[in-house]
A = this chain, B = another copy of it.
Amino acid sequence: VIFRRLDHLGIAVRDLEEAGRRWTEDLGFTFLHREVLEEQGVEVLMLDGGNCHVELLAPHGENSPIAKYLERRGEGLQQAAFAVEDMDRALEFLKGRGLLPIAPPSIGAGGRRVCFLHPKNVNGVLLELVEDR
């Protein structure tokens, strides 16, 4: 088993303020923190989902993949991120099964190594791997 647990769900939203109010005040999730990931073109509002995090993701800057996602599909569940113990071993295992990452691992929220599999290979799901040592 390469995936230990669901680390977070990512939800693409247009307006981070408005979405933040909805998910905290109206739905009752607890706010954890807010972070801009320049490299990934995204601003993140992180919520406590109990056993995982819920990340509200809004576009930041030019060429944001979230902006492209919103244009193509609108708001909604954009990614599911599972924690792996060892990123390199996980990617090697997946490569052996014909599953290649979109790009080499980079640094994501919280300074952890992250990597994405292409949705077309995993039933339309943008599957993120997060290294969790």
A: residues with CB less than 8 A from B are: 1-6, 9, 11-13, 19, 22-23, 25-30, 49-52, 56, 73-80, 82-83, 93-94, 97-99, 119, 121-125, 127
Residues of B within 8 A of A29 (CB): 1, 3
- The majority secondary structure among interface residues of chain A is mixed
Task: Say whether A124 contacts B49, CB under 8 Å.
Answer: no
Q: Which residue of B lies closest to A83 (CB)?
A: B50
Task: Say whether A98 contacts B26, CB under 8 Å.
Answer: yes
CB distance from A4 to the nearest CB of B (A): 5
Contact of A123 among B13, B83, B127 (CB under 8 A): B13
Task: Say whether A50 contacts B6, CB under 8 Å.
Answer: yes
